[in-house]
Amino acid sequence: MYIDVLTQVNFYDDKLFTYSVPSNFINSIKIGSRVIIPFGNKKIEGFVMSFCDKKEGFIIKDIIDVLDDDSLLTDEMISLGKYMSETYVESLINCYKAMLPSALKFNNNKTSIKKEKYIVINNLDEVEKVSEKNIIKLLKKEGKVKKSKISNKKALKILIDKNIVKEIEEEKYRLNVEYKKTNKLKLTDNQKKAFDEINNSDEKIYLLRGITGSGKTEIYMDLIEEVLNSGKTAIMLVPEISITTQLIDRFRGRFNSKIAILHSSLSNGERYDEYRRIIRGEAHIVIGARSAIFAPLSNIGIIVIDEEHESTYKQENTPRYTTLDIALERIKYNNAKLLLGSATPSLESYARAKTNKYKLVELLERINKKELPKVEIIDMKEEMKKGNDILSDSARLKIEDRLIKKEQIMILYNRRGYSNYLICNECGEVLKCPNCDISLTYHKVDNSMKCHYCRYKINKPNICPNCKSKHIVLRGSGTEKIEEYLNLKYRDLRIVRMDRDTTSRKGSHEKIIQDFNDGKYDILLGTQMIAKGLDFDNVTLVLILNGDNSLNIPDYRSSEKTFQLLTQASGRAGRKDKEGEIVIQTYNPNHYSILCAKEHDYISFYNMEMNIRKKLNYPPFCFLVAIRVISNDYKLGESIIDKINAYLNNNLDNKYTILGPSISIKIDNKYKFQCIIKYKDKNKIYEVLKNIVDHYKNSKIKLEIDFNPLKL
């Protein structure tokens, strides 16, 4: 028997190599399983792509080992990899690797399968002793019993020796979850209407625009239940799994054992088990972040992408895929439905819904017709004149009011650390990361200056490294400083901080969310992490301290991001019985994204923003692709991006707009140079990009092709 194997020999090389399969492996080898092959004088890993005939004129070697009993890539996955490779101008092997959980990426390891020993009846015979009788009684009642559960080992041994019972081994899945059973809620009339519009229609793609607290999750669950009842499976995608514990609990409560969760904080073994439960058809619903779109489910009936506007649905490493592309491909293959849900759909999605490419379904009232919270906008320029640099008078009064009433508060400050830069008052030098050309952030906990782009970290200097002056000061603030400020201001305040620094340990997110929910804290303070998806009954005030932080990012999406963040954050207040209130502090009180967020007015925002995008020719009026050259050597990188720019200009006509070349900052000692192409029709683009990729295949620089780039 001969097989063609795909392996990673050269970065862009997708050549197949033929191997023979010794007889002892013939039964275990399947298309899509991983094998170890000899290559030169090395042993490397590869995927079995097909069975083939013997190739004459070559010396064909035997494979060394088969790593997986179950095939890891289904037929659908194999063709999906080919689609990705074409769409993103990426090597096939990288696409397959992206589909697999990290435990299964090329690491030359067999992940072990955990086994558990059980005792079952073998040959029932009369027994005399009471202790033996008890064991038989238990086995008769339960069928099989864990060996560890039988305490009288002596009696057990006698029974085994007499062949009356025997020991068997069964695979044990490592992930063990506790859950509370929850009941299905009766959909409100509005929810039912939205549900019917999706369930009773033959359209394939739906956009559910449902304001925060309108009950979207309940609709997802009902649609998924319908799908399961018809014998099909479902994928439920969420932007970030660690902040989605509440949604997962609701799903578990309703569907428990049918669910598999693909979670980055699972151990390798747990993930391997979850993956195999899916392949074997034991799990019917897969919940996970972006990469769960590759879950090897078969017979998919629906894919739900919750908070579809979130940037986490774009993968930022190779292959730089957009989850939506993959979802569209999978619903085509499975003849399934795709449901995009959001309170603040991306402009692209809403524009597609308006032009009937998606079916638009809207839920514009909260559950029980609860009002959306009132939003107050505070002009911080005025507050600064009064000396209020962190809290406005109004925010302070409202905090004090909630503390007295024992209601909870969420405070959003979208920057972590203590101070965001250290500046010398004598020479004006700002302390920067030597690897990244970005100012270092002060972290008070360990008196350090850290780079938020690489891992660079030093102790805070006491004198200016440039002019040796002692007059160096910390400026700007981050969540650490806000926490300290609040603790000094309010004695006995119970405040918990949630940002990347407090949530690096496994399970720490979940614990903060649970403790806050249990009323152990008065205030939850955090970065944009706390803005999404959380649902606390007792929160009646949401305070956004630097509401315009995201407006200052030089990106065509900065207004959209600001509107989304403010709307999502506002949606966290007053979700149950109590009224909610929002305070947004900003230096741009008249910016349309802030004014529209105040009025909860998605449509006005959409219209204004679409006008601007049209004028400037940005998505959704065109597509973007970035071509980046990454190099340790500045001169080399610069000369190559210039050549690429010239090539693009010579080969693309004036229907394409080429921006750049530009030098983005140095990150981690590497310089990034880029060109952006704006295009409407992608045909010519592929050919041109492929030529560039081929040309620099063996070059010293690294080339990145990034469709729908997040950062310009």
Judged by CB under 6 A, the residue of 64, 185, 360, 495 near ligand ADP is 185
Q: How far apart are CA 665 and CA 670, in angstroms?
A: 9
Q: What values do phi and psi take at 502, rounded to 5?
A: -95, -5
Give the residue from 480, 494, 531, 487 showing the smallest Cα distance to 403.
494
Which of the residues 409 through 428 are near ligand ADP (CB under 6 A)?
none
H helical segments located in 200-290: 216-229, 245-255, 268-279
Is 91 a binding residue for ligand ADP by CB under 6 A? The answer is: no
Residue list 500-559, contact with ligand ADP (CB under 6 A): 535
Which of Zn ion, ligand ADP, none is residue 451 near (CB under 5 to 8 Å by kind)? Zn ion
Interatomic CA distance for residues 109 and 112, integer angstroms: 9
Q: Is 435 in the site for Zn ion (CB under 5 A)?
A: yes
Return the residue of 469, 607, 611, 699 that touches Zn ion, per CB under 5 A: 469
Instruction: Mark the segment that binds Zn ion (CB under 5 A) among 12-20, 246-254, 428-436, 575-583.
Output: 428-436
Partner whose binding site includes residue 454, from ligand ADP, Zn ion, none (CB under 5 to 8 Å by kind): Zn ion
Beta bridge partners of 7: 46
> Is 32 an interacting residue with respect to ligand ADP (CB under 6 A)?
no
Q: Kindly state whether residue 398 participates in binding ligand ADP, applying the rule CB under 6 A.
A: no
- Is there a contact between 362 and 606 (Cβ–Cβ < 8 Å)? no
Q: Which of 217, 244, 550, 559 binds ligand ADP (CB under 6 A)?
A: 217
Q: How far is the CB of 244 from ligand ADP (least distance, A)?
A: 11
- Using CA atoms, how far residue 102 sits from 98, 267, 503, 694, in Å, is 9, 10, 21, 28
* CA angle (308, 309, 311) in 5-degree steps: 105
- Reading phi first (left if > 0) and then psi (alpha if -120 to 50, else beta), residue 494 is in beta
Interface pick for ligand ADP out of 138, 160, 328, 367 (rule CB under 6 A): 367
Q: Which stretch binds ligand ADP (CB under 6 A): 214-222, 354-362, 510-518, 653-661?
A: 214-222
CB of 253 to ligand ADP, least distance (A): 11
- Residue 172 or 576 having the CB closest to ligand ADP: 576
Convert residues 134-173 into a mask of x (bound to ligand ADP by CB under 6 A) and - (unbound): ----------------------------------------
Q: Applying CB under 5 A, does 426 fall inside the site for Zn ion?
A: yes
Nearer to ligand ADP, 421 or 536 (CB): 536
Burial of 181 (0-12, 13-18, 19+ CB in 10 A): exposed
Interface with ligand ADP, residue 581, by CB under 6 A: no
The single residue among 145, 360, 454, 658 that binds Zn ion, judged by CB under 5 A, is 454
CB-wise, 191 or 420, nearer to ligand ADP? 191
Choose which of 71, 94, 111, 214 interacts with ligand ADP (CB under 6 A). 214
188 binds, among Zn ion, ligand ADP, none (CB under 5 to 8 A by kind): ligand ADP
Tokens of 419: 């101070």
Stretch that binds ligand ADP, among 117-125, 142-150, 209-217, 678-686 (CB under 6 A): 209-217
Complete DSSP assignment for 661-709 = EEEEEEETTEEEEEEEEEES--HHHHHHHHHHHHHTTTSSSEEEEEES-
Give 293 or 433: the residue with its C-beta nearer to Zn ion: 433
Among 28, 268, 466, 558, binds Zn ion (CB under 5 A): 466
Taking the least distance from each CB to ligand ADP, the nearer of 217 and 631 is 217
- H-type alpha helices, 88-168: 92-99, 130-142, 153-161
Strand 581-586 and strand 539-544: pairing? parallel
Task: Say whether residue 213 binds ligand ADP (CB under 6 A).
Answer: yes
Contact 567, 597 (CB under 8 A): yes
Query: Minimum distance from CB of 413 to ligand ADP (Å)?
Result: 23
Radius of gyration of the chain (CA): 29
Phi, psi values for residue 282, rounded to 5°: -85, -25
DSSP string over 42-78: EEEEEEEEEEEPPPTTS--PBP-EE--SS-SS-HHHH
Question: Which stretches of the chain bind ligand ADP, using CB under 6 A?
Answer: 185-188, 191, 210, 212-218, 367, 535, 575
Question: Which stretches of the chain bind Zn ion, using CB under 5 A?
Answer: 424, 426-427, 429, 433, 435-436, 451, 453-454, 456, 464, 466-467, 469
